[in-house]
A and B are shown apart, each in its own frame.
Chain A
Amino acid sequence: MTRQKHHNAFISVEGLTYAIDGQPILSDICFEVQVGERVAVFGPSGAGKSTLIRLINRLDEPTAGMIWLNGEDYRQIPPGSLRRRLGMVMQAPNLFPGTVADNLCFGPSAHGETLTEAEIRALLSGVDLVGYENRNVSSLSGGEAQRVNLARTLANKPEALLLDEPTSALDQAAKNEVEETIKAIIKSQNMTFILVTHDRAQVERLAERVLLLEAGQLVADGSVKEVLDARSVD
């Protein structure tokens, strides 16, 4: 793989390997993601899906392998800057104590920026939570909290979203709400995203391409139809 090839992709993952105490969690993962692609990382529990996007967000350090962002070695990018560019939404909202607005302001204020009231309103409108800015986060439902989490990540104006099972802890109604919000964001912002999920139907609803992980190995990479039709993974 030449250096020139790295420049062509938005994210290039090359030979990515991660092990804990010698136990491999991910082995020699290679793929590329282009700008605007909607990619699902799909596979059974324990396949290493969440580990993969934690490594892309650099919350963990790979044992071996490399990641390139727009052709740049991601280790050369300051971690805070890299994480703002690749906004990660975790399975649990993990909101900070305080109001919804406090949470939305956290990311920008961490690097010295202030969100205007209009920007806060626009972010909340994007996740269908208009008028929630002064609500205490302790009063939110699970679905609302996850939508605030999405808006909090979007407040950093990321280039891509890394979604780690964003609906797996929610009931069906809340799951539908969050999915609809994600769809609306994708449509309005044409944003690149990598979605980790073990929900086959969600892959079909949200993604256009699937990376199929099994036991830490990338076993298939193709369009949703190609990969899911060829495999009977649920």
Chain B
Amino acid sequence: MLARWIDNQVWLGAAQAGVTMVAALLVVWLTGRLKLGLKKEILISLGRGVGQIVLVGFLLTVIFSADLWIAVPVILVMIVAGSVMTIRRVRNIPHALRISFIGISAGAGLVITVMTLMGVIEQELTSIIPIGSMMVYGAMNTNALMMERFRSEVTSHVGQIEAGLALGASPEQVIRPYSRRAISAALTPNINGLRSLGIVWIPGAMAGMVLSGQNPAYAGFYQFVVSGSIFVTAGITVLISIVLLRSQVFSQAEQLLLRSEADN
């Protein structure tokens, strides 16, 4: 209906967002009536959500008109932001920012580069940046999950880890079961996502392609490219991060450095 009245695509988007905002405000009003205490939080989230994504939209309009090389600094900024957000979610891990940055850069950088050079991701900013952002976002979440789980596994098994060291085992040997659990826990949501792909949900990339009139079968294949690449990125990221993490939680003399805050 809106499209019949509005010709300009940007104004059409604004009108569609406006309708969505009205629906969201209705929910705010209802939660206010139920006295859930969420009114302020929802209003702030709605405001931030619309502001940030519209700003990014305008920014991308400018970026998409630039040369292809602009993708490198844009993705780099995303990796830095992702690394900073990761360390906000993990506590008490030395050099967590550096570990996250190296892990996400290696994972996302490698996959984006290889996929772009092979032509799996089209060599256009309109492909590289959105798909790259999904990979960085996926790597960030998986890495944060892995780091937090690793910290929690280590700090809740200090006795067994030190018993293993006292028996002459190397740090790699004593930490192995906890590293495995951390990686497994972090990758599980990705694996579940791949398993339920298309059955439980149609992810954003495929939904967007179908909405814009692309062949749904091609959209399906492409969605697998995106989801599979996100999984590969996340896998490489956590495998690199765990190696770096292991080197941070033991001293040169093979002493356990990471303990719970209560032990310090």
Contact = CB atoms under 8 A, between A and B. Distances in A.
Interface of A: 57-61, 75, 79-81, 83-84, 87-88, 90, 92, 94-96, 106-107, 110-111, 149, 152-153, 156
B167 A110 contact: yes
Interface of B: 159-160, 162-170, 173, 251, 253-256
Given A90-B162, A94-B160, A96-B160, A60 B255 contact: yes
Nearest to A57: B166
Nearest to B170: A80
B167 A153 contact: yes
Contacts of A95: 163
Contacts, number: 65
Contacts of A81: 168
Contacts of B159: 90, 92, 94
Given A58-B253, A59-B255, A61-B253, A107 B160 contact: no
A96 B178 CA distance: 12
Most chain A CB atoms below 10 A, which of B160, B163, B170: B163
Contacts of A92: 159
Given A84-B168, A110-B168, A156-B168, A94 B163 contact: yes
A96 B161 CA distance: 9
Given A94-B159, A94-B160, A79 B167 contact: no
A58 B167 contact: no
Contacts of A61: 251, 253, 255
Nearest to B167: A107
Contact of A96 (B164, B165, B255, B256): B164
A55 B13 CA distance: 67
Given A80-B254, A90-B159, A59 B165 contact: yes
B162 A152 contact: no
A152 B164 CA distance: 10
Nearest to B250: A79
Contacts of B166: 57, 59, 83, 87-88, 90, 153
Given A90-B159, A94-B160, A94-B163, A107 B168 contact: yes
